[in-house]
Amino acid sequence: MTVALIFMGAVIGAPLRYLTDRAVQSRHDSLFPWGTFSVNLSGCLILGALTGAGTALPSPVLALAGTGFCGALTTYSTFSYETLRLIEQKAHFYAVVNAIVSIVAGLGAAMLAYTTTRAIVF
């Protein structure tokens, strides 16, 4: 049952990641990977909120939305690839900014969503 829920969440999260990434990136004429940044930030925000809800959410919901959906929506491998691609293209500033801002903003989004949800639910 849990595996099926994770799969169902991933079936929604993976295409949404691709479509969002392409839609966001097509609106920016920059080397910076705005599409990947936006999906990863969104995933951190959603996962932070789910985690903040804690035991108020049943385990199946966490499997579907947290592991399945957020796991497929976010992408560490593409983040790593794009950072290395920026280094190869000699866009060192963008590579450093991508690494630092993605990590700091992701942690910040997760913490903000966690504390906000925690305050509302409990």
Predicted confidence (pLDDT) per residue in 80-112, tens digit: 999 999 999 999 999 999 999 999 999 999 999
Domains held by the chain: number: 1
Which residue bears the tokens 């950072």? 83
Which one-letter amino acid corresponds to residue 92? H
Residue type, 2: T
- Average pLDDT over the chain, rounded to whole? 97
Owning domain of residue 104 = 2-121
CA-CA distance, 5 to 66, in Å (whole number)? 10
**What is the average pLDDT across 24-35?**
95
pLDDT surpasses 90 at 10: yes
Residues 75, 25: Cα–Cα separation, whole Å: 15
CA nearest neighbour of 48 among 2, 107, 4: 107
Give which of 14, 39, 53 is closest to 62, Cα–Cα.
53
Q: What is the pTM of this model?
A: 0.93
